[in-house]
Amino acid sequence: MTVAAQMLDTYPKDLGGVDREKLRACIEACFECAQACTACADACLSEDMVAELTTCIRTNADCADVCDATGRVLSRHTGYDANLTRAVLEACAAACKACGDECEQHASMHEHCRVCAEACRRCEQACRDLISSLG
């Protein structure tokens, strides 16, 4: 059982109508994606052709920040605000789509971009799945 799952299971109040499994999956995908994007940006900086990866590095940094913030917002349940949660999830899905698209352009040449693109796609889907479950 993951830490996110344990924390959700031990939350002392009712989570309301939120799908616990989709919430857990989204929290984990956000933090995984933030780590992948941070590592990918760093790997891009180590490439000989770093000047050609400027947009990728920027997109990675933006996506990492948005995913990290989204994971933290989703980890807080007291005083839950559905409108804010939906907006944060939409922003995260958009950042993940943009980063996934950018990294895919470099995936055939840079393995770190391929791995990052996959993490971005998983996170984008997890955000969309959670949004659809919010009703």
What residue ranges define each of the domains in the chain, with the CATH number in brackets?
19-133 (1.20.1270.360)
pLDDT, residue 112, reads 98
pLDDT, residue 130, reads 96
Q: Which residues of the chain have pLDDT under 50?
A: none
pLDDT, residue 45, reads 97
- Name the token pair of 31: 């933090």
pLDDT, residue 18, reads 86
pLDDT, residue 46, reads 97
Count CB atoms within 10 A of the CB of residue 77: 16
pLDDT, residue 135, reads 65
* Backbone angle region of 2, left / alpha / beta, with phi > 0 → left and psi within -120 to 50 → alpha: beta
Q: What's the pTM value of the predicted model, to 2 decimals?
A: 0.94
Cβ contact 60:95 at 8 Å = no
Count CB atoms within 10 A of the CB of residue 22: 17
